[in-house]
Structures are given as structure tokens and as C-alpha cells.
Amino acid sequence: MRVFVTGGTGHSGSYVIPELIAAGHEVTGLARSDSAAAALSAQGAKVRRGDLQDLEGLKEGAADSDGVIHLAHRQDLLPSGGIDAVAAAELPIMLAYGEALEGTGKPLVAAGSIGSPGNLGRPATEEDPALPGGDEYKGTLRARNVVETAVVGLAERGVRSSVVRIANIAHSTTDSAGFLTTLIALAKEKGVVGYPGDGENLWNAVHARDVASLFRLALEKGPAGKYWHAVEDKNIPLREIAEAIGSRLGLPAVSIPADVLMVPGYFGFLANIVTQNYPASNLITRRTLGWEPTRPSLLDDLDNGHYFSAG
């Protein structure tokens, strides 16, 4: 298959491209700079110069391909507009892909997020739709709604569209800017590894190589209009993550009272998300696509030590 990939130089994308090429696909990656173009070529991909602001270019890239994997996101909008601005920028991109692919039955697989299911009292599943976009849903939940609804809606227009909801923590030996590295940096700065309250709130995680294999399977054989969950089998209490980091750094893991003043005091901009409970299931993904997460789990990857080798 000739596959057009955006975000191929990012954390997930740098695993997705080799995964696709190893499976015999021909990849064209979007590059907005010389360094991105060089990185894509080094991975064995062809290069299409352009950026996410160029919707006509994205349409052409999609129309010239047998399928699209969309991983790029406008993280440059985060400081000024937050996650809502990043999501707002996604919508015209998805509609542009829709115009290019309408009626073709070609696959479009886009990155999404596992949000908090709220008080469902059970893990979020692939059958949980994007949440309603009302004011009661904030931040990542509202962002998720906009993008996921747009992508899955394209199934009604003859696009084999689906969303791979990536775990809250995507980890690997090349993870340099994710949640774990932020937690580790915070711990080094504060001299303790904090977790909110009793730390029993569950987080989901996935290895970036397993993310890559799921994108490939969704591209190759995923039915239209579906959500897939790129999460490893076990949901992990945040306290266990803090303890694993603490044992590596030789620092105590301590409870930070879940208090509106105290939590922001330790966690800064992460305060809104660290208290969330994010249990998620991958059962439907595994059963439908035959996907199995086989790479090291989050706790094994922390135990491997590579997150602690620099500084």
C-alpha cells in the first residue's frame, strides 16, 4: 500500500514508519523542514514537503496514496490556545482528508486520546463514543470529541476511517518529551516523587512500538468508523509509577494531598490531569484486529533504566 504519513518524525511516527516499511508498504512522509525530510529519508520513506497549514497539500498527499496515517499535531498552538486550539486546527485537516478520500473506501487512521470516562465505574472501551462536546467536558475531553467525531464521521462518506486512541503515557527508549520525562524532571527538582492523594487513580500506558503495530493493523484491515485502544493490558495506579521512579532515583514517593492549592504547588501545569482516573480496556482492539501489545510494559520500561541514564 502507498501510505501518506504525517507526524513521521514524532515519537509515535518514528516507530510507525519502520513498522509500515517492514510490512512492505511504501511510505511518503510529510516534512516541513530539511531536518524532518532527512529524518524521513533515513527511515526509508519518500518525502512530501509541506505543513499542516497547507490543506491543499494534505489533500494531494491523501489523494496520491492508498491510505493515510495522521499523527502530526499543531503543538505550536498549545502555549497560546491550549489543547482546544490544537483540536480546532485538526478539524479542517480531517475535512480535507474527507474531501480527498470520499467514496474511495481508502483507510484514514488518525491519532486520538484515551480520555477519562468520568464516573462510568468501569474502564473506557472502544465502544464508548467520543464524549458530547458540552461545556461540562473540558480540556482533553472536548478536544477528543471534536477530532474523533470528525474522523469517524467520514466513514459515512465512504472513507475507511478510524481513530487509534493512544494511551496517556506512550513510552519507549526514544521518549524525550512525554509525561514520564516530565514526572522524572519534577521529582529531581523537588527531591521527592509526588503522587496525588492515595495515588490509587489508574493510568493507562503503551509502548510506542505497540502503537505502531496497531496503526498498521488498523490501516490494513480495520473496519470503518471504529475506535481502537492503544493501551497495554494493565492499568497502573499513579502511586506505583511514582514508586518505580523513586526507586530508580533514590527518592521517596510521597502523597501530595489532593487539595486545590497543594496539588498545583507540586505538579504545576500537570495538576489538572494527575488526579484523573483513566482506566481503559483494549479487549475489542485485540479481538477485532488481532493486536497484542508485546513490548515492555511501562513498569518494565522504567525498570530498564534508560529513562534515568541522562543526568
d(CA 101, CA 162): 13
Residues pairing with 256 in the sheet: 196
Nearest approach, Cβ of residue 262 and ligand NAP (Å)? 26
d(CA 24, CA 177): 30
Q: How far is CA 274 from each of CA 115, 144, 153, 165, 170, rounded to the nearest angstrom?
A: 13, 18, 31, 19, 15
Q: Which stretch binds ligand NAP (CB under 6 A): 5-13, 61-69, 129-137, 250-258?
A: 5-13
State yes or no: residue 13 binds ligand NAP (CB under 6 A).
yes
Nearest to 112 by CA among 7, 255, 229: 229
State yes or no: residue 142 binds ligand NAP (CB under 6 A).
no
Instruction: List the one residue from 1, 63, 66, 74 that touches ligand NAP (CB under 6 A).
Output: 74
d(CA 150, CA 220): 21
Contact 160, 105 (CB under 8 A): yes
Q: Which stretch binds ligand NAP (CB under 6 A): 121-129, 160-168, 242-250, 260-268?
A: 160-168
State yes or no: residue 3 binds ligand NAP (CB under 6 A).
no
d(CA 162, CA 70): 11
State yes or no: residue 5 binds ligand NAP (CB under 6 A).
no
Nearest approach, Cβ of residue 38 and ligand NAP (Å)? 11
Nearest approach, Cβ of residue 143 and ligand NAP (Å)? 9
Q: Which stretch binds ligand NAP (CB under 6 A): 70-78, 91-99, 246-254, 263-271?
A: 70-78
Give the residue carrying C-alpha cell 462518506: 157
How many residues touch ligand NAP under the rule CB under 6 A: the total is 27
What residue ranges bind ligand NAP (CB under 6 A)? 6-13, 30, 32-33, 36, 51-52, 71-75, 111, 113, 166-170, 178
